[in-house]
Amino acid sequence: MSAEEQAPTASEYIVHHLTHWQNKPQTEIVDFTVFNIDSLFFSILIGVIGCLLLWKAARNATSGVPGRFQAAVEILVEMVEGEAKGIVHNAKSRKLVAPLALTIFVWIFLLNAMDLLPLDLLPQLWALIYGATGHDVSHAYLRSVPTADLSVTMGMSVSVLVICLVYNVKNKGIGGWAHELVSAPFGTSKNPIFALILGVINLAMQLIEFVAKTVSHGMRLFGNMYAGELVFMLIALLGGAWAFSFQPASLMLLLLHVVAGWSWAVFHILIITLQAFVFMMLALVYIGQAHDSH
């Protein structure tokens, strides 16, 4: 059989790269018994690495002239602390919120940075391991960018929602927050009938706001990283088209593959940083809103 017959088509290549390593096949759109093992593995691994990096910076910190790594971490910490101070005005809450924001930024940045690795590097290594254990290599699925997984980004945004709900109850009390839910944003009325109507409308608006903020928070990060991953796949297909043709005219594909890959990788550095910053800032804004009274 020729190499052309054995090689996957472009659509098969993309579908394979977009398929997760799961504990069992997913048969429904929403199935909480299905786990994306690759997303969990890389999220935990990168989270541990991020904690170790920050711990190392704190452990080796000196009061004299800082090194480059210490200076970078200090700049990052000061930036996050400044943003937290400008949004969350409760000094006691900032003792938790500021480190949380720093963790969010570093963790998401490192997760996004997995997209800068060669597209087939980790999947091919996993295919070798998977095949060596006697399994079918064609079913060796692995996605190494957890933020391109909707379940991961939505899990993060739901976690931020839970924190906001906790601070709402903590700062305003259950009674105060319940009153805010039925009195904002349109206020209330001394007339019992109008007060009931306004209360239902206000509650509906509050619930819609919570849901909309949470969904958009997770979808924004997922959409950008998923799109970036697709672009890298399309660029990789240019190199594959050149490799399987070996025609003089196909050298343009190789040149386009190299130039597009380098350009997109450089631009993607800005994207992964910006998306981590945006997610962190929105988390701070939502938590800050939980401290404000209407």
Say which residues have a Cβ less than 8 Å from residue 285's Cβ, sequence separation at least 6: 87
Q: Which residues pair with 151 in a beta bridge?
A: none
User: Which of 60, 216, 263, 293 is the catalytic position?
Assistant: 216
**In the annotation, is 216 catalytic?**
yes
User: Which of 189, 220, 245, 250 is the catalytic position?
Assistant: 220
Q: How far apart are CA 14 and CA 10, in angstroms?
A: 6
Q: DSSP secondary structure string, 31-59? A: -TT--BHHHHHHHHHHHHHHHHHHHHHHH
**In the annotation, is 191 catalytic?**
no
**Token pair belonging to 2:** 């020729």
Contact 223, 147 (CB under 8 A): no
Q: How far apart are CA 195 and CA 65, in angstroms?
A: 63
User: Which of 39, 144, 168, 224 is the catalytic position?
Assistant: 224
How many helices (H) does the chain have, and how many strands (E)? 9, 0
Q: Give which of 272, 284, 292 is closest to 80, Cα–Cα.
A: 284
Which amino acids are annotated catalytic?
216, 220, 224
